[in-house]
Structure formats: structure tokens, C-alpha cells
Amino acid sequence: MITVTPIKMTGIFSSFADDFIAFKRAQGYRYYSEAKVLSRFCRFAENYQLPAPTLTKELVTDWTSPREGEAKKSRTHRICCVNQFGKYLKQMGYEVYAAPPLSHWNTGSFTPYIFTHEEIEKLFRASDGIRPIPQSRNIHKVLPVLMRLLYGCGLRISEAVSLKCCDVDLQRGVLTIRDGKNGRDRLIPLSSSLTELLRKYTNDTIPWACEDDFLFMAPDRTILSPNTVYQRFRKMLWDGGIPYKGKGNGPRLHDIRHTFAVHTLQKWVEIGEDLTAMLPVLSVFMGHKSFSATSRYLRLTAEVYPDVVRQVEQTCAYAIPGGDTYEAN
């Protein structure tokens, strides 16, 4: 269990913020990053000398205004947190000004880069060619396994590096993802080849590890930083001859997860699976919060593989959404 540092609230909203966070966590949400945002909001609100815990238009407008150098995702997160908190305060009987809908701020879209099957093989070969470095003596042993796990299981990088040895059942061939992005645990079945790869990795690279050790650990036995993986991923793209189109255009490390979903749907269409039955399976497998997040991959699959368009439309055209918004994490 990871120890979470308590976050202190201040000012007129402090008790309400504490109660609100306790309420969300009782519903099963982690609400840690949100708690940090609300802590900053409470300090921000102290400058307004409010006589009561009300969200005035001036306060909310100032809080949600753009900040120099701030990413759109971060600003959207701030807006979402204060709006959620506002709904809670309104239920408590206080006046609340709600910031404009998130769609007003978050008008951009991102189209994932879907690797071809050949490019995935190139990435694997490039990961096999990674050389050890003094700062990370086992990185050349970690990355080949990590890359295959990201693609073979459709994991987020945060989920992969958070895996502990006790989360890997090599007898049954099952991973346990704990406290994922949407605050849900889930089980991931492993293919026989991935199970054998992980067995060889644990026996040869970390035979001394205990159950509470991270599966992919830094030299000091702490969690492997995703930034370390990001840096090596860029080199793998270069070594594999896969063009990097710049920040915001990809390919991104997270696009391996998108590629897993598209390649899975492509395979199911080719072997004649009923996608209306299989999409909920993929949704649970990937840990999506809603079915719509998974169904968007139908459109993307049809765009990347035009030869399966007719089959997708015949089986579940109603599920293909009109937009191109995909999860960022």
C-alpha cells in the first residue's frame, strides 16, 4: 500500500473541502490530485475575504482564468475540480457560480498515432538493442519486457511501472492492476508468451526481489520513473526508423495503448467476432470509465484499416461515434 501524505486545507472553505474529499473517497475515488488542487484553491480564496463559503463569479472567474505557461489539460483539471466542489456546496445550500462547461475550454482534439504491426516489431527490436547505462544498470533488461507488456496488455505507463511483484501471478498468468486511473482494480490475463517472458525476467534479473518490490524498479529499488521510459522511447523511435513528428503530434508512448485497442478490434473483425459483445470486454480490460471511451476506437480502427469498414458498419455502426476525442492518459 502506498502511503499518501495528508493535504491540508485552509480558509473559509477548509472544512467543506475536507468533507467533500472524504465523500468522494467513500465513493471509491482516490481524489489525491484533486485534493491538491482544492488545497491551492482554498489558499487562493483567502484573498477574497468572503463572509460565507460561496463561490462568487469573481472568485471562480479569477481561479479559472488562463495562466502563463499552463497546459490546457492542467487548466481543464482546475476547472473540473472547482465545478465538482461547487456542486457539493450547492447541495449544502450555498450560492455557487459554475464555470462554463469544460467543452468551452477544451476545444482541441488529439488523434492518436496508431503504429503498424511492422512498426511495433521495430520498436521491440529497438528495445532489445538498448544498452545499459551507469545510472540504470538493468534498463536494457527492463525495457524489452516493459514495451511488450504495454502493447500486449494495453497498459498505461503509470500502471506498468506501479506493478509490484505480488501483482504478477505467473502460475495463472494474471496481472492485478491496483488503483488504476479511474480508481478501479482490474485483472489482466497474460498470453502464454508474455507469461514466459515475465517468468524469465523475474528469474534472471530480479531473483532476489520480495513481494513488495516493484516489478520494474530503479537502481535504489524505488519505482521506475516514467520519464526514464519516455526518454528511452524517443531513442527507440529513432533506432526503429519511426519518424517523431514533434510534441503534440506523436508518436507518444501512450499511443502504444491506443494501438493495442485498434489492433485488437482489427483482429476481432477479421476472425468474425461480434463486436457488440466484445466491446464491453475490451472496455473492462482497458479500465475505461465509460463504454463510450472504448467505442471511439471503432471509428479509429475503420480509419486505419479501411478494409474492415464494411464489417464494422454491418455489426455495430450505431456504436461508432461522430467525434475524434480520445483519452489522454
Q: Catalytic residue numbers?
A: 156, 181, 254, 257, 288, 297
Q: Phi and psi at residue 217, in whole multiples of 5°?
A: -115, 155
Query: Cell digits for 71?
Result: 497546459
Q: Which long-range contacts (CB under 8 A, 24 or more apart) does 271-275 make?
A: 274/315, 275/312, 275/315, 275/316, 275/319
Q: What is the DSSP letter of 132?
A: P
Peptide bond connecting 251 to the previous residue in cis, omega within 30 degrees of 0:
yes
Distance from C-alpha of 128 to C-alpha of 123, rounded to nearest angstrom: 9
Torsion of CA 252, 257, 261, 264, to 10 degrees: 110
